Chain A
Amino acid sequence: MTGCQVSENIQKTSSDEDYQSSSTAWRKAEARSTVRILSDGRGQCVLSVPDLRCGGCVATIERTLSTRTDVVSARVNLTLKQVVVTFVNADADPTSVISALGLLGYPATSADQDQSHENDTDNVGRGLLRAIAVAGFGAMNIMILSVAVWSGAAGETRDTFHLISALIAIPVVAYAGQPFFQSAFQALRVRRLNMDVPIAVAVVLALALSLAETMRGGEQAFFDAAVTLLFFLLSGRYLDHLMRERARSAVSGLARLSPRGAMLRQPDGVLTYVPLSAIAPGAIIAIGPDERVPVDVSVISGSTDLDRSLVTGEAIPVPAGFGDTLEAGTLNLTGAVEAEVLRSADESFLAQMMRMQSEAETGRGTYVRIADRAARLYAPVVHLLALATFVGWVLATGDWHTSAFVAISVLIITCPCALGLAVPVAHVVASGRLMRMGILMKDGSALERLAEIDRVVFDKTGTLTMGTAAVGLGPNDPALRAAAKALALKSFHPAARAIAISIAELPCQLDDATEVPGFGVAGCVGGRAVRLGRADWVADISMQAKDRASPVFAFADGPAMAFDLLETLRPGAFDAVKSFAAAGIPVAMLSGDIEARANRIANQLDIADVRSGETPADKIAALNALRDDGYRALMVGDGLNDAAALAAAHVSMAPSSASDAGRTAADFIFLRDGLEAVPAAWRMARATARIVRQNFGLAIAYNCIAIPLAMAGLVTPLIAALAMSASSILVIGNALRLNPPEKPRETQALRHKRSEVLA
């Protein structure tokens, strides 16, 4: 064992070392490009640390980083799982901080700082919080005065209290009502109805009616109802916003896969880092091992193996050498290459995929959310009822003033407070539960769409499968196997790693190991040359290796041993497919890989509907065809080639290992390895849809009681306040049922344990 591991350093040629240093230089430059220069000349960068869990982590990281001489301050944000590091100089090197965090046990990556999020403050959220605070202030103070009126204040006292209430309510509604007024106005401008239209109408009418009543010294004013309504609805809206914001920051915290720049070979032969936008066709760039190809290039020197699983869906790495074209997004595995740029970043494969994705998105059309569909039915009905009430009262009594009062009170009491909360509160609770299950949801409409699926389409590579495993074929000779393992251990090629894992024997003594990128590993065992790699290359030393399926191991002029590379299924893949099939939802597979590999996985998983060799355009076409046939498909995929299909599907999911484009396109992202997240999210979506329907039922039941009372002219401000608050609380309480009942018991047990520890 030790004998073989002595030669841990694979022999490298001098050019390899040159590339090795260029690779670290690229890594450093990549990290440095995330440093922002502050106004006082300091550098600042945001690192994403997914493993941040508790206050202990916060203290450890801040204490360690702030003792460094190049760091001015380090501030951890536990909510976003980020560290903001301020450096002494603008040209500081974040990689050393990242490696320091790695030594502490917290793997970190530079967070993707979009230019649009320059100051990374959540302005919409803050605006909503401010509006909630103002509405809360107004609601409390008006309620104090209203309680006095309800308890019997009369005459001048009542009129004064109404006047003070009016003075509070007018500015409060003008400020805190803005989110609703704006949204209602926007909807009306394009001649649509949304839930905010009846809300805005009711709030404004309640205010106007109460003002008129106050002016003429009337008995009834609805100031408290108008402002309390805004407070409840704003709370729901803020929670909804918080949920989306949290998912957004969690997604941006995932490690970025596509490079921001590349090492460019200058005319004088020096390698310098340039950003992607500055790379023109015809330029020469160097791509080291374990780097992603930044733009479409053609190899001019060096040879290597490529992992194209994210680009085309091919599961098994392919060798590449002079003249081969590499698409942007391909992962370079083993060797360093120099390549000529074929297309600039805007025209590369990656950009083409992005364009297809946005086209697919526009083709999908706009999905009308359930709340808006409800509003389209609800708003005309209540407005007509109010009109009918007004006409009826005028005909019956001839009193215009009373008729207007009763009609407006119908509109106030039917203001869809419970309806407005019915959807967002259920979605917020569901998204919190999904997040605990390791599933990120981008917005609430995705959950509604997921609940209605009747088809599931999986991508193969990286979605149903994960990594490769090797099975040794040929003579079962321990000496052969031990030598093959020794060679396989020398390479980081996925096939070599799979071979090393598949052999149980201990590796034997190996000398002069060299990795030849694109071909395999060569070495000497007991004075005999050995090779592991491509069949035609191994055949150079042993004729027995000829015409075997790659990869092959052989002794010089000796026996050969071939390995069959198989893909391993993602954990939970079998259960995921089975649970959809059990629910009567047909499962299909769309793969960019060759037919044999696609069929093998499909047979293992019992998927009948398989298509292989699909290009990105084929995948979009397949999903569009499903939609045209009236099916609502869930697409689960990860690759660049899936991104457009993810956008074209009714709803989509991607693993966190997906390409950047795939993660952007998908509605849900699951962070854990297991594919059981897909049926789990689906079940959660169905449970949420059920709760939402119940909430609508509750809201309608409330209206069935409230509307007749209001039309009969029996509604006083006190009844309105009680009824509206009660219905809102009922809806919120119902939504909380989405949380599992075990949870409180769990936390109690935990608390109990904690108190025991403390005692």
Chain B
Amino acid sequence: MTILAFLIPITLGMGAVGLCVFFWSLRSNQYDDLSGDAERILFDEDRPLPAASARLSNTTKETAP
């Protein structure tokens, strides 16, 4: 029965990690547009993340004549 002393904390720990990940995804606005995200997965082009693309497009705009 000593195995329970390991297994129960591991179970709880895994659940808690999952809960933390859910909280993080909620805070980073990943639940704001569920139907949009379902469609976005089918987009062909591979683009950098919005923040990166903003920075990227900014620098290209600044260097452009």
* A contacts, CB < 8 Å to B: 54-55, 58-59, 66, 69, 72-73, 75-80, 86, 88, 121, 126, 129-130, 133-134, 137, 140-141, 144-145, 157, 160, 164, 168
Contacts and interface: CB of A to CB of B under 8 A. Distances in A.
Nearest to B42: A55
Contact of A54 (B11, B29, B39, B58): B39
Interface string B24-62: 001001011111100110110000001001100110010
Given A55-B42, A129-B26, A137 B57 contact: no
B32 A72 contact: no
A72 B57 contact: yes
B36 A79 contact: yes
12 contacts: A55-B39, A55-B42, A58-B36, A66-B53, A72-B54, A77-B33, A78-B33, A78-B36, A79-B33, A126-B26, A133-B23, A137-B19
A121 B28 CA distance: 11
Contact of A73 (B35, B39, B53): B53
Contacts of A121: 29, 32
Interface in B1-34: 1, 4, 8, 11-12, 15-16, 18-19, 22-23, 26, 29, 31-34
A126 B18 CA distance: 17
Given A75-B50, A78-B33, A157-B1, A58 B39 contact: yes
B40 to A, nearest CB: 7
A69 B60 CA distance: 11
A126 B23 CA distance: 10
Contacts of B23: 130, 133
Nearest to B61: A69
Kindly name the residue among A69, A78, A145 whose own CB sees the greatest number of chain B CB atoms within 10 A. A78
Given A137-B18, A140-B15, 8 more contacts: A59-B43, A73-B57, A79-B34, A126-B26, A129-B26, A129-B31, A160-B4, A168-B12
A224 to B, nearest CB: 15
B15 A58 contact: no
Interface residues of B, number: 29
A753 to B, nearest CB: 17
B35 A78 contact: yes
A59 B47 CA distance: 12
Interface of B: 1, 4, 8, 11-12, 15-16, 18-19, 22-23, 26, 29, 31-36, 39-40, 42-43, 50, 53-54, 57-58, 61
B46 to A, nearest CB: 13
Contacts of B33: 76-80
A141 B12 CA distance: 7
Nearest to A164: B8
A752 to B, nearest CB: 19
A550 B4 CA distance: 92
A66 B53 CA distance: 10
Given A54-B39, A72-B58, A77 B15 contact: no
A122 to B, nearest CB: 8
Contact of A130 (B26, B39, B58): B26
**Interface majority SS on B: helix, strand, loop or mixed?**
helix
A195 to B, nearest CB: 27
B57 A66 contact: yes
The 3 closest A-B pairs by CB, nearest first: A55-B39, A78-B36, A77-B33
A54 B19 CA distance: 31
Nearest to B34: A79
A133 B50 CA distance: 28
B51 to A, nearest CB: 9
Contacts of B36: 55, 58, 76-79
A298 to B, nearest CB: 48
A137 B15 contact: yes
Nearest to B29: A121
Given A129-B31, A133-B23, A134-B19, A144 B11 contact: yes
B30 to A, nearest CB: 11
A699 to B, nearest CB: 31
Contacts of B19: 133-134, 137
A530 to B, nearest CB: 56
A474 B32 CA distance: 62
A415 to B, nearest CB: 25
Contact of A133 (B8, B22, B40): B22
A200 B11 CA distance: 29
Contacts of B15: 137, 140-141
Nearest to A78: B36
B62 to A, nearest CB: 11
A73 B40 contact: no
B6 to A, nearest CB: 14
A243 to B, nearest CB: 15
A515 B20 CA distance: 68
Contact of A141 (B11, B34, B42): B11
Contact of B50 (A55, A69, A73, A144): A73
A209 to B, nearest CB: 24
A76 B15 CA distance: 33
A55 B16 contact: no
A77 B31 CA distance: 11
Contacts of A168: 12
A76 B22 CA distance: 23
Contacts of A80: 33
Kindly name the residue among A59, A140, A168 whose own CB sees the greatest number of chain B CB atoms within 10 A. A59
B48 to A, nearest CB: 11
A168 B11 CA distance: 12
Given A79-B32, A79-B33, A79-B36, A73 B43 contact: no
A55 B54 contact: no
Nearest to B51: A73
A276 B36 CA distance: 36
Nearest to A59: B43
Contacts of A144: 11
A753 B42 CA distance: 19
B7 to A, nearest CB: 10
Contacts of B1: 157
Contact of B32 (A77, A140, A164): A77
A88 B39 CA distance: 28
B50 A78 contact: no
Contacts of B22: 133
A86 B53 CA distance: 13
A145 B12 CA distance: 11
Contacts of B11: 141, 144
Nearest to A42: B54
Given A73-B53, A73-B54, A133-B23, A78 B8 contact: no
Contacts of A66: 53, 57
Contact of A137 (B4, B16, B31): B16
Contacts of A137: 15-16, 18-19
A144 B15 CA distance: 12
A169 to B, nearest CB: 13
A78 B57 contact: no
